[in-house]
Amino acid sequence: MGRLPLGFGLALALAMAMAGGFVYLVAGVQLTAEVDESLAHERNHLLPPGAQADTTALVARVTAIEAHRWISDRGHLLFDRTGRRILGRVDMPMPAAGYSDVRYRDVGVKLHSGRALCIQLPDGGHLVIVAHSEIGEIMRQMVLPAVIGVVLVAGIAALTGSHLFAHMIAQRIARAQSAADTIARGDLSGRIPLDGLDGIFAEQALSLNRMLDRMAEMVHSHRQFAGHLAHDLRTPLTRLKGLLAEELATSPGDRDGLVERADRECASIIAIFDSLLRLSEIEAGSHPVGLQPLALRPVIEDVAETMEPVIADAGSQLSLGQLDQATVLADLGLVHQLLVNLLENIALHTPQGTRARISLRRDAARGEAVLTIADNGPGLAVTERERVIQPFARGATAPSRQGSGLGLAIAEAIMRFHGGTLELADAAPGLAVILRLPLFAAKESSEPA
Amino acid sequence: MDILVVEDDSAIAGLIGRGLDAMGHQAMLADSGHAAIRECESRCFDALVLDRMLPDISGLEVMARLRARGKAPPVLMLSALGSVQERIDGLVAGADDYLTKPFDIGELGARLVAITRRSGLREEPETQVGQLRLDPAGHRAVLGENSASLNRREYSLLAFLMRHADQLVTRSMLLQGVWNYDFEPTTNIVESNLSRLRTRLQRLGCDPVETRRGHGYVLRSERCV
């Protein structure tokens, strides 16, 4: 149970206890008032207005009344002016004037509790009317347990209720949370399910979903923007490239290689647009994919075979480390691009003489295929590692300006697309690119033994 | 070759026309889908360069109508729509090849030659050019008495070049045909792998692959001795 519902429940239980105490007090006062009223009634009976109120007259009246009442819960005592009891079966000392709680003996030795009204007579004597009362006992034996019981039940109900209420709220909030988690993972289609929600929760979910719709639209148009931009600039670039090519072909005297250089720059602009288009395609999920169970080992061997001469031409080395068998659900074309992009980084952004090694580990416990490309180059500072994954970022120490600056961003998008992660780590020395892809689970079960 | 260029952007159409003329082809221009269909009905072309987006009917539609009339030359589809899906759509619809703007005029020429050849001889893989022979079982290149074993990439690279012997083969044709990569690598993957292959062939005693700087490569059959 969370602290909030516990505190809330305890506060409710405390309030119930206070209410119980109040009821207890009021009940006591009320019961006492009733007894006092009957005492006052008796006094009015014994001392009607205008009647003689001296001790002798009262002795006569009381004796007459008691003679008629055999059974009574009231007793009468008369004390003379010296405080000596002159009448009454009840045995008790003279109480203070007015109403008071008293204890007395009736016939036996047993002490009873009751209420007494003591009136001073004009001649100095005292009339005391005693009523048997079990208020104290009633309060102790009946009201108190009832009040405690009610407080206990209410307290438990308050705790349970607030717990259940908190649980219900948590369940509704959990829906929003799981939608938020889905979106945080990069899946913009996550929404809060509305079934079973009502009241403010439904309203809140609706407005959050509206917000998510709007945000997804914005992200979508943002992604499309890059694509459209790259796309729309292709036609003028085609003309430019054509014109440069014509110029190159028709005028052999290209002084200072100006046209050739312009042609090269044009080609690199086109390469950037191609990568941008590609990135927006992958991120928008519009890239046509053929997800299929893919054994990673042959793919790695194949790409390594292709990239080994490229890395060798750059003056470095590529070798294969341990390659476990691991199957993942992936698109072959995208995995090719992923590995080529990462190995091109070795050729383009590490100094000559760098040694790079690819290894593949099957981590069955975590259900992952872990592909590592580690080099012993200069590596990247921790702050740099975060930055280079961003589009158009290059390592500060990168010796070359080649490339679109989108290679790692594309690699990361490809990993995200496959539900995997790309991590840049310290290979001490050098940089390690660690790729984690979920293993294709159905493999073992579908293969005949 | 007689080639019909269907392109509504006059600047690009002009560039293609002049480029094809310079390569020794006869280029005819059409600036709409209907004009293209009319031209094809009046005469025969060896190949069609067809822009995908035209002012009246789409390139895909032009292709479908020509196919329906039974006489369609090989088609090289041209488009600014560079996404992989667009390319697949174009090829599925029956284009023989697909080129994305911006393209190199040399690339266009090389691909036109490749698709007209292909439609003529139909995919019979050449395993021998001159004295140079491929040994599929041993993954080797054989020249007379000598042989050199090749890795898978080198083997398929050589096979592609031999299939297009005496034709200009561009970098991007090789990336698509040999590697099946649909992205543009930053490094010169083709150049590095080809120079490995060339070294192996030189040890064997021949050097048939000629580099045309800025354009591509040609495997010369007369050098395979």
C-alpha to C-alpha distances, A342 to A98, A105, A306, A325, A403, nearest whole angstrom: 102, 105, 13, 21, 12
The reply to whether A196 falls in a domain is no
Residues A299 and A440 in one domain: yes
The minimum CA-CA distance between B101 and chain A, rounded to whole Å, is 6
Residues of A in contact with B106 (CB under 8 A): 245
Q: Tell me, yes or no, whether A296 and A435 share the same domain.
A: yes
Cα–Cα distance for residue pair A139/A136, rounded to 1 Å: 5
Cα separation, A33 vs A38, in Å, equals 9
Angle formed by the axes of helices A407-417 and A332-349, to 10°?
150
Measured CA to CA, the distance from residue A201 to residue A194 in angstroms comes to 9
Q: Is the pLDDT of residue B134 over 50?
A: yes
Q: What is the pLDDT of residue A375?
A: 93
pLDDT digits (tens, 9 = 90+) for B72-87: 789 999 877 666 777 7
pLDDT of residue B83: 66
Q: Are both A314 and A376 inside the same structural domain?
A: yes
What is the band of B129 on the pLDDT scale with cuts at 50, 70, 90? confident
Same structural domain for residues A221 and A309? no
Are A315 and A434 found together in one domain? yes
Q: Which residues in B lie closer than 8 A to residue A235 (C-beta atoms)? A: 9, 12, 80, 101-102
Question: By residue range, what is the domain housing residue A31?
Answer: 3-140
Report the domain count for chain A: 3
- Cβ count near A155 (within 10 Å): 19
Report yes or no: B84 at the A interface, CB cutoff 8 Å.
yes
A296 and A263 within one domain:
no
Does some domain include residue A190?
no
State the DSSP H helix or E strand holding residue A362, giving kind and residue range, or none if neither. strand A355-363
Phi, psi of B7 (to 5 degrees): -155, 130
For residues A367 and A332, the answer to whether their CB atoms sit within 8 Å is no
Contact A437, A369 (CB under 8 A): yes
* pLDDT at res. A168: 84
Residue A276, SS3? helix
The mean pLDDT of B109-118, rounded to a whole number, is: 84
Using the Cβ of B225 and the Cβ atoms of chain A, whether some distance falls under 8 Å is answered with no
A255 plus A305 within the same structural domain: no
Residue A367 within any structural domain of the chain: yes
Which strands, in side-by-side order, build the sheet including B47-51?
B26-30, B2-6, B47-51, B75-79, B97-100
Domain assignment present for A192? no
Q: What is the DSSP letter of A328?
A: E
Residues of chain B positioned with their CB less than 8 A from the CB of A347: 187
The pLDDT of residue A288 is: 64
B114-120's contacts with Cβ under 8 Å and 24+ in sequence apart are B114/B164, B114/B167, B114/B169, B114/B173, B115/B47, B115/B74, B115/B75, B115/B76, B116/B1, B116/B46, B116/B47, B116/B74, B117/B164, B117/B167, B118/B74, B119/B74
Say if B12 is an interface residue toward chain A (CB within 8 Å).
Answer: yes
Nearest-neighbour CA in chain B from A192: distance (Å): 32
> Quick one: pLDDT at residue A399?
43
Of the three residues A245, A268, A284, the one that is the final residue of a domain is A284
How far apart (Å, rounded) are the C-alpha atoms in residues B75 and B94? 8
Q: Residue B102: closest CA among chain A residues belongs to which residue?
A: A238
- Between CA B82 and CA A277 the distance in angstroms is 8
Give me the pLDDT at residue A392, please. 66
Residue A125: CATH number of its domain: 3.30.450
pLDDT for position A367: 92
A274/B101 touch (CB, cutoff 8 Å), yes or no: no
Place of tokens 């913009």: A188
Angle at B99 between CA A418 and CA B125, to 5 degrees: 90
Chain A residue with CA closest to B53: the answer is: A235
Alpha-carbon distances, residue B123 vs A284, B70, B119, B164 (angstroms): 37, 22, 8, 11
CA distance B82 to chain A (A): 7
Q: Is residue A155 part of a domain?
A: no
Q: Which of A279, A310, A339 to mutate to test the interface with B (most CBs of B within 10 A)?
A: A310
Give the per-residue pLDDT at A398: 47
Question: Residue A391: is the preceding peptide bond cis (ω within 30°)?
Answer: no
Find the Cα–Cα–Cα–Cα dihedral A133, A138, A139, A143, rounded to 10°: -150
Average pLDDT of every residue of chain B: 86
* pLDDT at position B124: 52
Q: Are A7 and A122 in the same domain?
A: yes
| Whether residue A86 sits in one domain with residue A17 | yes
> Does A440 lie in the same domain as A296?
yes
Q: What length is written for chain B?
A: 225
For helices A296-313 and B152-163, what crossing angle results, to 10°? Answer: 80
For residues A408 and A387, give the distance between their C-alpha atoms in angstroms, rounded to a whole number: 10
A160 inside domain: no
CA angle A417, A420, A421 (to 5 degrees): 110
Residue among A246, A281, A348 minimizing CB distance to B18: A246
Which of A270, A305, A402 is opposite residue B186, by nearest beta carbon? A402
Better-scored residue on pLDDT, A252 or B216? B216
Same domain, A16 and A91: yes
In this structure, is residue A301 part of a structural domain?
yes
Residue B210 near residue B218, CB atoms below 8 Å: yes
Instruction: Please check whether residue A130 is in contact with residue A104, taking contact to mean a CB–CB distance below 8 angstroms.
Output: yes
Whole-angstrom Cα distance, residue A188 to residue A212? 8
pLDDT digits 0-9 by tens, B33-61 = 999 999 888 888 999 999 988 888 988 89
Report helix, strand or coil for B138: coil
Task: Give me A42's structure tokens.
Answer: 């008796």
Provide the pLDDT for residue A352: 92
User: Domain containing A258 — which CATH number?
Assistant: 1.10.287.130
Looking at the fold, whether A312 and A429 belong to one and the same domain comes out as yes
Alpha-carbon span A433 to A372, nearest angstrom: 6
Domain boundary, last residue among A140, A155, A174: A140
Residue A87 lies inside a defined structural domain of this protein: yes
For residue B157, what pLDDT is reported? 93
Choose among A264, A271, A263: nearest CA to A240. A263
Kindly give the parts of chain A with pLDDT less than 50.
Answer: 396-400, 443-449
CATH number at residue A339: 3.30.565.10
Residue that finishes a domain, picked among A91, A120, A140: A140
Q: Do B183 and A313 touch (CB under 8 A)?
A: no
